[in-house]
Structure 1
Amino acid sequence: MIDSHCHLDLPAFDDDLDDVLQRAKEAGVSGFLIAGTTPAGWQKQLDIQANHTNIHLAFGIHPWFIRSALDDALSDLQQMVATHRDRVCAIGEIGLDATIELPLAEQETWLLAQIEVAKQSKLPVILHHLKTHHRLPALIKQSGFTYGGVVHAFSGNAQVAKQYIDLGFKLGVGGTVTYPRGQKTLNAVVEVGLDNILLETDSPDMPVYGYQGQRNEPARLVNVVGILAEAFCTSPEIISARTNTHFRQLFIQP
């Protein structure tokens, strides 16, 4: 299993990151992609990668943390990616969120600017979405972006899923599908097929069913795999192997 989206750089893991990673590895998690959210956090991501194995990195500015001037932030992102091109495998977490006060028009400007960095660097992107499926596919098409990526924490129906898949994206599947209320998303994932998904936890957020209110961590990926294995009528080993291959094809292999 590979956790294709986690935030091990957040303060929630400051006191016991080694233990968290050890529990994950004992559970069968063999790799981790830490998605970036702020310029201030990128160096901490690099430090974690330098001290642990099987850590992959993405740099980006999450819509929740858009604070500085666009030109300055974009320059920082370009420089960071150029300096550490051999250590970064994606641009993200970037996207659109209709639940925050920042106007969508401004978020779209930031998103397109960061997609341009991904185009220049020939890197995939990690997309954040919240009530914005009506805009994201259109913006990706508008940008002319062709390097693919993953729709983080996908939720929606099969029709929405296919829009992203047609644009070269995988669907990030995590804790949502472990809940009874996540059945619609689980059905959509099964309909579009195992070849179109990646595993993720979004640790420390998005706890799996049964662990509500607790810090999430990569070891709980086992719970997600169990649900998917049942839904796809296959084994956890098959789910893990196939999604590992998808991860490598998207983020590691040229």
Structure 2
Amino acid sequence: MLIDAHCHLDFPDFDADREAVLARAHAAGVEHFVVPGTRRRDWPRVLALGARHDISVCLGLHPYFMQDHREGDVDALAAALDAHPEAVALGECGIDARFTDTLDAQWALFDGQVRLAKARNLPLVIHCVRANDQLAKRLRQLSPEAGGLIHAFAGSPQQAQAFLDLGFVVGLGGALTHDRAKRLQRSVAALPDDGYVLETDSPDMPPAGHQGERNEPARVSEVCRRVAELRGLTAERVAANSAATARRLFGLPAHG
């Protein structure tokens, strides 16, 4: 059983053929999908997808969309999480250090969301770009007990271990399939069996051979095969390990 632990199936990129995308994923062995929210205005479409038995959802405020977030959004997030206990995590939140002009605001928004998750004992789904060490330090300070997922991890083995020590797991996606990703591949090989989940970040982050294409959840099977090669395991074992970790982290159903 494969689980795509992070895919944006609510995005308009899938409006024309969402059912066909899901059918292709099921045909590739993907039985469950975790869809995170990124902006307040988009939460309703995320929640609508969560009505499906094979989709679980999260709600959050993504650092990439700082220009879309408004005062009061954290309070609205608190209310939405309380109104929708089916949400399995708070996210996608995080830090994107490529955008230096909004970095202070990103940290303030992130801190507010971590406190919400901590108060509700929810795991976090965290986007982190060029800020692994700073993020680990902040998480040590805030100590969210339910842990969470460091989505699209691309750091060193030492940085991965720092997150694992804090009760987080790392998300492995298309980036690791590219030949140039040597450091990330070393990290993947060094992870414990319960330290990662497989994901696609669809429609973004396509695996090698699909550059410039819309990514989709069926390709989590390609990620699985490459992880298996790097770890010297069968793809079936990697899929089972990842699915067990995703179920534990998000409280997902055993099947479907």
Task: State the TM-score, normalized to the length of structure 2.
Answer: 0.95
Match of 1:145 in 2: 144
SS at match of 1:161: helix
CA distance in 2, matches of 1:68, 1:248: 30
**Matched letter for residue 7 of structure 2:** C
Q: Which residue of 1 is the match for residue 30 of structure 2?
A: 29
Q: Deviations over 1:7-54 (max 9, x none)?
A: 00101000110000000000000100001100111100111222x321
Match of 1:76 in 2: 76
Give the letter for the 1:228 counterpart. V
Report the CA distance between 1:101 and its aligned residue.
4.4
Partner of 1:185: 184
Moved over 4 A (4+): none
The one-letter code of the counterpart of 1:56 is: S
Shift of 1:191: 1.0
| TM-score (normalizing by structure 1) | 0.96
The code of the aligned residue for 1:60 comes to G
Task: Tell me the amino acid that sits aligned with residue 77 of structure 1.
Answer: L
RMSD: 1.3
**1:113 partner amino acid:** G
2:189/2:231 contact within 8 Å kept: yes
Distance in 1 separating the partners of 2:169 and 2:225:
20
Unaligned ranges ≥5, structure 2? none
Query: Which residue number in structure 2 is paired with residue 45 of structure 1?
Result: 46
| Aligned positions, number | 251
Unmatched tracts of structure 1, length 5 or more: none
Q: What is the SS of the residue equivalent to 1:150? A: strand
SS at match of 1:135: helix
Deviation at 1:172, TM superposition (A): 0.1
Contact 2:61 2:69 in 1 (8 A): no
Q: Helix, strand or coil: the match of 1:181?
A: coil
Provide the secondary structure at the position in 2 that maps to 1:6: coil
Is the contact made by 2:188 and 2:231 (CA closer than 8 Å) also made in structure 1? no
The residue number in structure 2 matching 1:57 is 57
Cα separation, 1, equivalents of 2:142 and 2:21: 38
Equivalent residue number for residue 193 of structure 2:
194
Shift of residue 221, structure 1, vs aligned partner: 0.7
Paired with 1:102 and 1:198, the residues of 2 have a C-alpha distance of 32
Q: Which amino acid aligns with 1:37?
A: T
* CA–CA distance in structure 2, aligned partners of residues 137 and 39 of structure 1: 26
Q: What is the alpha-carbon distance in structure 2 between the residues aligned to residue 13 and residue 119 of structure 1?
A: 33
* Residue identity (%): 37
The equivalent of 1:7 in structure 2 is 8
Displacement after TM superposition at 1:177 (Å): 0.9
CA contact (8 A) 2:177 2:208 kept: yes
Question: What displacement does 1:253 show?
Answer: 6.3
* Aligned-partner Cα distance in 1 for 2:199–2:97: 22
Aligned to 2:168: 169
Q: Secondary structure at the match of 1:134?
A: helix
